[in-house]
Amino acid sequence: MTTTERTELPTADDLRLQVRQAFESIGATVTLGPPGAHPARLPASTPITGDVLFTIAEDTPERVDAAIAEAAQAFSTWRTTPAPVRGALVARLGELLVEHKGALAALVTIEAGKIVSEALGEVQEMIDICQFAVGLSRQLYGRTIASERPGHRLMETWHPLGVVGVITAFNFPVAVWAWNTAVALVCGDTVVWKPSELTPLTAIACQALIERAASDVGAPASVSRLVLGGRELGERLVDDPRVALLSATGSVRMGREVGPRVAARFGKVLLELGGNNAAVVTPSADLDLAVRAIVFSAAGTAGQRCTTLRRLIAHRSVADELVSRIVAAYRSLPIGAPGADGTLVGPIIHARAYRDMVGALDQARADGGEVFGGERHDMGDEAAYYVAPAVVRMPAQTAVVHNETFAPILYVLTYDSLDQAIALNNEVPQGLSSAIFTTDVREAERFLAADGSDCGIANVNIGTSGAEIGGAFGGEKQTGGGRESGSDAWKAYMRRATNTVNYSSELPLAQGVHFG
């Protein structure tokens, strides 16, 4: 199949049936109303056909306040529950995710437009973080520190923080919730989740699973709460002083609003914002390997990952061949219904995303860029947006390249020296993910050094996307500076206490101070 061939889309009724079957399997009992405008109901849409499949009751601001109160009440007992016992809840959630992996992945495909393999991979990521967090529940280590005073012990301990508010984006509708929730729960926190209004169905399914897990292990029912609705509900989480940590995934614009508001009430914030990720390809690179990695990183999820490859910085000696091979690979990518066998590129999320892509490509042409691909594909439904991934040869890193467009656009720049390539990588305001393709160990180490890539993720000979849960995930600069998932990211969900214990009968003061 080539990108010019058309695959038949499922009907909206087909998708509604799949949603009902998934909900029945998972045990979600929410009322799914018929499509139609209603001020108190939230539309549940699909980018596969562009249809509204159902409407769902939208929560009121009063319901958000109640959810926070319920989570705060649950925290009063959950924080004193032994951490390994808290881990049992997350272990049970992981078991349920394994049991219902296919059903939840089907909802991800329907609601976010991900191909089957990527949807299953997102649910697997949830399972992985549950396994990580269960192990973490026995490893919330403090430390003992040498005291300068005789007969004294100095140590650090870590304690639960409180209610964690989680705001997630449409592109990873379930995995990012799991990153936060699995770790927060074993740390002794409770969670209130406001998902993207574009993905309420997957959120309802996740809530059904966590409620069942809590019931199965005897955990408080309100350790995890869900609120459904628009921006104003997220603002309740941002501004409520009972929310000790606000973890928000979204745009830089959103982060600029959220960060100062949480800081104004002295709350903690964890931001995962924009990414404008680059890969450097050196003269020594294995081009076969590089092309495979670049195509997945740039075209996977229809260019709608925060770690999507958006800039390719190629040495002048390999740029022509590299672009030729990537363009040829793009032309062979099957574009179509994400649930169909063989599809590799599904739809982008909505009309606004398509307009943003068209506007960026028009600006790139105006800036002297040469565009390959990027055309919209007629799938027989005007409300759905299927586009060919675009490659754009740019004469320079202009303003349009500096601005992340959440669509499958790969800008190609050339360089002559590695210092120049690193400067191009670091020149943009975002700092999430980066990569270098090289077989020269000096080039690799230089890219990873303190004066190399300034991103939170820096890879060698793999693409910019597809992070594993064992490492802390996040970035610098306008990406927000937050860290989620693995490594010691758990510390963001806890408060640190420094403890000094005097087990002597004397009272020496620190720094040799004498008083009286």
Are 99 and 238 in the same domain? yes
370 CB-side CA count, 13 A: 8
Q: Residue 235: give the domain boundaries.
A: 13-273+480-496
β-bridge partners, 393:
370, 412
Are 222 and 291 in the same domain? no
For Cα atoms 107, 109, 112, give the angle at the middle one, nearest 5 degrees.
Answer: 95
What ranges in 27-115 are assigned the alpha helix state H? Answer: 61-78, 83-99, 101-112
Are 171 and 228 in the same domain? yes
Tell how far CA 10 is from the center of its chain.
28
Q: List, for residues 279-324, the tens digit of each pLDDT value.
A: 999 999 999 999 999 999 999 999 999 999 999 999 999 999 999 9
Tell how far CA 19 is from the center of its chain.
23
For residue 354, the one-letter residue type is Y
For position 434, which CATH number holds? 3.40.309.10
Rounded to the nearest 10°, the torsion over CA 293, 299, 303, 304 is -80
Q: List, for residues 185-213, the tens digit of each pLDDT value.
A: 999 999 999 999 999 999 999 999 999 99
Residue 515 falls inside a structural domain: no
For Cα atoms 198, 204, 210, give the angle at the middle one, nearest 5 degrees.
Answer: 135
Are 347 and 320 in the same domain? yes
**How far is CA 196 from each of CA 22, 112, 201, 457, rounded to the nearest angstrom?**
20, 11, 10, 25
Signed CA dihedral, 130, 132, 135, 140: sign only: negative
Pick from 304, 307, 391: nearest CA to 350: 304
Are 22 and 45 in the same domain? yes
Are 344 and 455 in the same domain? yes
Query: Could you tell me the pLDDT band of residue 462, with boundaries at 50, 70 and 90?
Result: very high
**How far is CA 130 from each of CA 14, 314, 471, rounded to the nearest angstrom?**
32, 39, 14
Are 92 and 205 in the same domain? yes
The pLDDT of residue 38: 67
Residue 4 falls inside a structural domain: no
Residue 382 falls inside a structural domain: yes
**How far is CA 352 from each of CA 160, 168, 455, rounded to the nearest angstrom?**
41, 19, 28
**How far is CA 409 from each of CA 13, 24, 79, 250, 404, rounded to the nearest angstrom?**
32, 38, 46, 19, 9
Are 254 and 281 in the same domain? no
For position 90, which CATH number holds? 3.40.605.10
Are 307 and 357 in the same domain? yes
Are 218 and 364 in the same domain? no
Q: List, for residues 348-389, the tens digit of each pLDDT value.
A: 999 999 999 999 999 999 999 999 999 999 998 899 999 999
Residue 1 clears pLDDT 90, i.e. is over it: no
Query: Could you tell me the pLDDT band of residue 36, with boundaries at 50, 70 and 90?
Result: confident
Number of domains, the chain: 2
Signed CA dihedral, 240, 245, 250, 254: sign only: positive
| pLDDT, averaged across the chain | 96
Residue 219 clears pLDDT 90, i.e. is over it: yes
Percent of the chain past pLDDT 70, that is, above it, reads 98
The pLDDT of residue 8: 87
311 touches 360 (CB < 8 A) = no
Q: The whole model's pTM is what?
A: 0.96
Q: List, for residues 89-135, the tens digit of each pLDDT value.
A: 999 999 999 999 999 999 999 999 999 999 999 999 999 999 999 99
Are 67 and 211 in the same domain? yes
Which residues are designated catalytic? Answer: 272
* Angstrom distance (rounded) from CA 512 to CA 516: 13
